[in-house]
Amino acid sequence: MTHDTNGDTYSSSLEPVIRLAGLDRVYHLAGENIHAVNNVTLDVWPNQMTAIVGRSGSGKTTLLNLIAGLDTPTDGDVWLLGRNLAQMDERERLNLRLYHLGFIFQSFGLMPLLTARENVGVPLRMRGVAPAEREGHIDEALEWVGLSDRAHHRPYELSGGEQQRVAIARALAENPQLVLADEPTGQLDTRTGRRILNLLRRLVEERGVTLLVVTHDPQVMAEADVVHEMEDGMLVDTRIKEGIAVPGM
């Protein structure tokens, strides 16, 4: 437990955004058990960039799906924004995702027939945000990622880096507390990846977002405040950047 100079614990004033306790996910496939996530316990703290790293098949995507409430653990608990997912019904989990989470994917996840601005507006439409308010959020988010002049382009008229910036704008427009990103630079060259990484860092610094990013990109690992390494479903190492305070460690 980390103490400040008054002897108080940080955790009294600061709660983790994500808390995983003894998390297991076992898949049963053709009579075989695959332990995709094996007894993972970790906390993700607010206003930090946390990375989950590990080779392909180590359980990273499974872990993200469990955190997002898109998959159900075989054992253990996920606490998201202070709430135990197992004690919420499907509707409550859906609302938690819709109102508090943003998602960024390796393959951008944009709708091919919609323009950049229509793509950014999708989650706001799902929330039922009124058109005038929606347009304001969309404009602001596109400007923030530097794509105001591409607002009416469709994904196939945009480069990979620009498509990922649209996806970041879509997450940002939701004003999320937590953004989950699965290999956000995985399909981009090193320079474009660096630009996307800078934008992700700015999400944390300027917008107060907590970012959890699954990656095997060395640039992202070097940038992250906290790096958790997975191997065969297990958490095998945690590295904290110098100067970063993490409660309890």
Contacting positions for ligand ADP (CB under 6 A) = 27, 29, 34, 36, 54, 56-62
> By CB under 5 A, which span of 58-66, 120-128, 155-163, 232-240 interacts with Mg ion?
58-66
Q: What is the strand order of the sheet 18-29 is part of?
A: 32-44, 18-29, 75-80, 83-84
Nearer to Mg ion, 61 or 219 (CB): 61
Q: Which residues contact 7 (CB under 8 A, 6 or more apart)?
A: none
| Residue 110-149 contact track with Mg ion, rule CB under 5 A, x = bound | ----------------------------------------
Nearer to ligand ADP, 36 or 199 (CB): 36
Residues 6+ apart with CB under 8 A from 40: 20, 22, 23, 24, 59, 63, 76, 230, 233, 234, 235
Q: Smallest gap, in angstroms, from Cβ of residue 85 to ligand ADP?
A: 18
Ramachandran category for residue 214: left, alpha or beta (phi over 0 → left; psi -120 to 50 → alpha): beta
CB of 31 to ligand ADP, least distance (A): 12
Q: Which is nearer to Mg ion, 169 or 180 (CB)?
A: 180
28 or 91: CB nearest ligand ADP: 28
Binding segment for Mg ion among 53-61, 144-152, 184-192, 201-209 (CB under 5 A)?
53-61
Q: How far is the CB of 61 from Mg ion (least distance, A)?
A: 3
User: Closer to ligand ADP at the Cβ: 142 or 220?
Assistant: 220
* Near Mg ion by CB under 5 A: residue from 61, 74, 175, 177: 61
Residue 57 near which of Mg ion, ligand ADP, none (CB within 5-8 Å, type-dependent): ligand ADP
Residue 12 vs 56, nearer CB to ligand ADP: 56
- The two tokens of residue 26 are 């076992």
Which residues make up the interface to Mg ion (CB under 5 A)? 60-61
